[in-house]
Amino acid sequence: MERTLIIVKPDAVQRGLTGEIIKRFEQRGLRIIGMKFMQVSQDLAEKHYDVHRERPFFNDLVSYIVSSPVVVMALEGTSAIQAARGTIGATNPAESGAGTIRGDFGLEIGRNLVHGSDSPENGEIEVANFFTDDELISGWNRNTDSWIFE
C-alpha cells in the first residue's frame, strides 16, 4: 500500500470545497488514515516547499499555504500516488480534464485547490512532516475494501 499526502489548500477551504474534495478521494477507493484541520506554520511551509526554494515562486507558495487554514490528509491504497494525482488533475487547472478536482473547480495555476504527493518516496516524507505515527490509523478495514482491492 502506498501513502500520499493531500492538502486541501486555502482556496478550496475558503470556497467550501473541502467536503467535495474528501468525497472524491473516498469514492476513488483511497483509505483515509489521518486527517486534520490546521494552520500551516511558516517553518512547516518552508520545509514542505523546500524543493522549490531556489525558484522565483517559492515565497509566493509559502505565503499562500500559510494564509488560511488547510485540511491535510494521509491516504493509502494500491497505487495511491497515481490514483490521487489522476483525481486531482494537472497542476494547471486549464489543462485538467473534466471530472478532476482542478478541472471542475479551478481556473488558475496559483489557486489550484489541492496538493498531492508526486512519488511514493515523497508521499512517505510528506506524511511524516504533517503527521506523527500516533495520528495515523493504518491498515483498518472497510467493508468495501474487498470490492476495491484485489
The DSSP element (H or E) to which 32 belongs, if any, is: strand 31-38
Question: For the domain that residue 21 is a member of, what is the CATH number?
Answer: 3.30.70.141
Query: 118 or 142: which carries more pLDDT confidence?
Result: 118
Total tally of structural domains belonging to the chain: 1
Would 65 be classed as within a structural domain?
no
Find the farthest-apart pair of alpha carbons in the chain and give their distance in angstroms, rounded: 47
Give me the domain span that covers residue 112.
2-38+71-148
Give residue 144's pLDDT. 87
Measure the CA–CA gap between 2 and 9, rounded to whole angstroms.
22
Q: Whose CA is closest to 49, among 19, 9, 77?
A: 9
Catalytic: 115? yes
Would 104 be classed as within a structural domain?
yes
Would 127 be classed as within a structural domain?
yes
Whether pLDDT at 138 is above 90:
no
Measure the CA–CA gap between 3 and 75, rounded to whole angstroms.
6
Instruction: Pick left, alpha or beta for residue 73 (phi over 0 → left; psi -120 to 50 → alpha; otherwise beta).
Output: beta
Catalytic residue from among 11, 61, 115, 126: 115
How many CA atoms does the CB half-sphere of 148 hold within 13 Å? 19
Would you mind telling me the total number of residues written for the chain in this entry? 150
Would 48 be classed as within a structural domain?
no
Quote the pTM value: 0.94
Cβ contacts of 24 within 8 Å, gap of 6 or more: 87, 101
Q: What is the pLDDT of residues 95-117, one digit of tens each?
A: 999 999 999 999 999 999 999 99
Would 44 be classed as within a structural domain?
no
Pairing outcome for strands 31-38 and 70-77: antiparallel
Give residue 37's pLDDT. 98
Would 51 be classed as within a structural domain?
no
Would 53 be classed as within a structural domain?
no
Would 115 be classed as within a structural domain?
yes
Take residue 77 and report the three cell numbers written for it: 491504497
Residues facing residue 75 across a β-bridge? 4, 32
